[in-house]
Structure 1
Amino acid sequence: MPKQAVLLLAHGTPETIEQIPDYLRNVVSGRPLPEHVIEEIKHRYSLIGRSPLTEITLEQGRLLEVELAIQGIDAQVYVGMRNWKPYIPDVVREMRADGVEEAAVICLAPQNSRTSVGLYRRAVQAEAGPVKIDFTEGWAQNPLLADAFADRLRVAEERLLEETGSFVPVLFTAHSVPCRTVQSPAASEGQPKLWPGEGADPYAQEAKRTAELVAQRVPGIPKWWFAFQSQGASGGPWIGPTVEETLTAIANEGVKILILQPIGFLCDHVEILYDVDIAFKEYASKLGVCLERPDSLNASPILARALAGLAMEGLARLQGSISPII
């Protein structure tokens, strides 16, 4: 039987503030960024100390490997980052050196978009060589993913229930992307095709569908909204509505306590530890709204089970057999 492995892909994050300029050049594919933008990102990192994304992602890989072993699957789990070390090309070359012949590849951005799945796929395929790849296109509607987020949300709601006597409304969020990346292929004629299939990019619809599935699993929620967060500083418009304008509308409805749960991120990093825990909480406070956040998935055992199911399905497809179900 061919030697199989699993490759998890994530965004990546610098280890130190000094590395941020090089990291940002990777994020924007070498395009120049204004100095004030670089300084602002440095400032945000300084306020949270550091981003734990890399070590949490490595731990998620370890938990996945354990879960696969429980299911009787002997497959090493590798982790590659698009914008920082360990870089995807380096990790794929390492897999080849280790004799890996087939790999199930999962992007840790569940909602499919050109700026995630398409670019990650290209990075893997550029170095895959003879390694057969099964790439999970998107898993926004995975039941265990929704279960994992609902598990975290339920804990937060039950804590607030004890304090306030009732469940509170929820604002779900996902990372915004530039409008140009989600326009239809016809509008992008002549541009390189970064994702398979036809029709408009599914990202916005998939993000909202994840939120809907999570909300369905916590029936006590009185009301919920959805917004896109962390719009970038690159030129052109980014998709919305923004968190800030949504918080303003929610405050105008008289809401005083609100839970914000990012459902596009699988672990703590700067877009949660700064954007949510500092910037959005301060913005909400000025509106008279107390903003709470559930714990991120991080080392969630339910998330590990979700990833194991995706990995087993991918490995089974590589073997041409029926996908197993966890």
Structure 2
Amino acid sequence: MDDEAIHDARNDNTMGCSMNIDHILLIGYGGPRCPDEVMPYIKLMTESKDVSHKALESIASRYQEIGGASPYHDQVLSFSRRLEKTLQDSDVHLAVFTGMKNWHPFLDETLRNIHQKRLRNGIAICLTAFPGAAAGAKYREALDSAKTALKLPDINYEFIAGWYDQRYFIEAQTELISEKLREIDSEKRQTTPIIFSFHSLPLKSGRTASGSNYAEEARVSSELIAKRLGHVKWSISYQSRPAKAKGEWMGPDITETLKALAREGEKQVVIVPLGYFCEHVEILFDLDCHVRTIAEQLGMRYLRAEPILNHPKTIPLFKGLIEAQLGRHSNE
């Protein structure tokens, strides 16, 4: 794949309209902010499913393993503050708000705050690089539902969902992986397998239930990064499928990939949580506890790259997306 396939920030992944933009809204997944919120959060997430109390306790125990709660909220809030300061320093005077789909501050709470500040036209950015992920469409639906529930038709948004092939994203991920590869003996770095990991989704007739291009986006992004690294031994796997999930889901599962690599005689592996913006339970427990244990049982050294959140190029990535939408994109 040519370097030209790596894109600078642009408008072609947005819903364009002519508005006087007065704020930015970051839309995230959400998660329990403290131990007291863990069980209410889990019950909310499973209320439409037949989940036993024992199963709820099992899910809650995962948060105990990672410190008692999810770091997601605090990480995203810190990021939003840094983004707002960067915009202000660049003479882009827009307030940055955060709203979560699944926990506090819920989108309706954030929209109420925005409305009270008499702000009406915003750019909404979904905190996933992959617009084909089910989250992308669901976040947009959640935003529309919150507006309808609050009867706020006068708040309007241009929606940015996805940056999986953006230059800063590819460069940042490449640098994060390179940093992890440096922990490996130099003569083994180029032959150590890399697994790009994404959240699995249910399939319907061989495609994601939403009919999206998620798998293709994952392939394109992974291929761009691997090419930039000059690394040929890489693969894509999926993780975090619910234990009792029914039907066909995206695969291969990351544990099956590890077993295949072990049969080939591999002794170490680098896991890249490419489908995730920042650390939360899917990384800290599903990968760092569950997958690590399986890797070690297979006699493999487990190394895991950091997600993109705190990389120095992530703020410029978002700044570029915003400036492109404003028609003020710079070449920085």
In the alignment, the residues of structure 1 paired with residue 92 and residue 129 of structure 2 have an alpha-carbon distance, to the nearest angstrom, of 23
Deviation at 1:4, TM superposition (A): 1.1
Deviation at 1:113, TM superposition (A): 3.4
2:143 to 110, 114, 124: 124
In the alignment, the residues of structure 1 paired with residue 91 and residue 206 of structure 2 have an alpha-carbon distance, to the nearest angstrom, of 40
The 3 A distance-change label for structure 1 pair 95 and 324 is: farther
Q: Taking structure 2 as the reference length, what is the TM-score of the superposition?
A: 0.84
Aligned sequence identity (%): 27
Residues 154-165 of structure 1 mapped to structure 2, 5 A cutoff: 154-161=178-185
1:147 to 151, 171, 177: 171
Instruction: Give the counterpart letter for 1:57 in structure 2.
Output: V
Tell whether 2:225 aligns with 1:214.
yes
Deviation at 1:73, TM superposition (A): 0.9
Q: How many residues align?
A: 306
Please list every run of at least 4 consecutive aligned residues from structure 1 whose deviation after the TM superposition is greater than 4 angstroms.
321-326
Residues 34-45 of structure 1 mapped to structure 2, 5 A cutoff: 34-45=52-63
SS across alignment from 2:168: helix
Deviation string 1:117-144 (CA, Å, 9 cap, x unpaired) is: 1111112123152122111132221121
In the alignment, the residues of structure 2 paired with residue 94 and residue 62 of structure 1 have an alpha-carbon distance, to the nearest angstrom, of 16
1:172 to 196, 202, 216: 196
The 3 A distance-change label for structure 1 pair 134 and 3 is: closer
SS across alignment from 1:136: strand
Instruction: Give the counterpart letter for 1:283 in structure 2.
Output: I
The 3 A distance-change label for structure 1 pair 62 and 246 is: same
SS across alignment from 2:275: coil
Instruction: Find the counterpart in structure 1 of residue 305 from structure 2.
Output: 294
Residues 72-87 of structure 1 mapped to structure 2, 5 A cutoff: 72-87=91-106
Instruction: Give the counterpart letter for 2:194 in structure 1.
Output: V
Deviation string 1:293-320 (CA, Å, 9 cap, x unpaired) is: 1223232221111111112223x2xxxx
In the alignment, the residues of structure 2 paired with residue 228 and residue 45 of structure 1 have an alpha-carbon distance, to the nearest angstrom, of 21
SS across alignment from 1:210: helix
In the alignment, the residues of structure 2 paired with residue 83 and residue 208 of structure 1 have an alpha-carbon distance, to the nearest angstrom, of 28
In the alignment, is the contact (CA less than 8 A) between 2:199 and 2:241 conserved in 1?
yes
Instruction: Find the counterpart in structure 1 of residue 247 from structure 2.
Output: 236
In the alignment, the residues of structure 2 paired with residue 141 and residue 150 of structure 1 have an alpha-carbon distance, to the nearest angstrom, of 12
In the alignment, the residues of structure 1 paired with residue 308 and residue 58 of structure 2 have an alpha-carbon distance, to the nearest angstrom, of 27
SS across alignment from 1:173: strand
Instruction: Give the counterpart letter for 1:105 in structure 2.
Output: A
Deviation at 1:324, TM superposition (A): 5.2
Residues 48-63 of structure 1 mapped to structure 2, 5 A cutoff: 48-49=66-67, 50-63=69-82
Residues 311-326 of structure 1 mapped to structure 2, 5 A cutoff: 311-314=322-325, 316=326, 321=327, 326=332
1:13 to 21, 31, 36: 31
1:94 to 92, 113, 126: 113
Deviation at 1:238, TM superposition (A): 2.1
In the alignment, the residues of structure 2 paired with residue 96 and residue 87 of structure 1 have an alpha-carbon distance, to the nearest angstrom, of 14
Deviation string 1:195-242 (CA, Å, 9 cap, x unpaired) is: xxxxx31112112222122212212x3411110111124443321110
Structure 1 residue runs of 5 or longer lacking an equivalent are 189-193, 195-199
Instruction: Find the counterpart in structure 1 of residue 130 from structure 2.
Output: 111
In the alignment, is the contact (CA less than 8 A) between 2:21 and 2:123 conserved in 1?
no
Instruction: Give the counterpart letter for 1:87 in structure 2.
Output: F
In the alignment, is the contact (CA less than 8 A) between 2:43 and 2:56 conserved in 1?
no
The 3 A distance-change label for structure 1 pair 182 and 119 is: farther
Instruction: Find the counterpart in structure 1 of residue 14 from structure 2.
Output: none
Structure 2 residue runs of 5 or longer lacking an equivalent are 1-18
Instruction: Give the counterpart letter for 2:201 in structure 1.
Output: V
Deviation at 1:285, TM superposition (A): 0.9
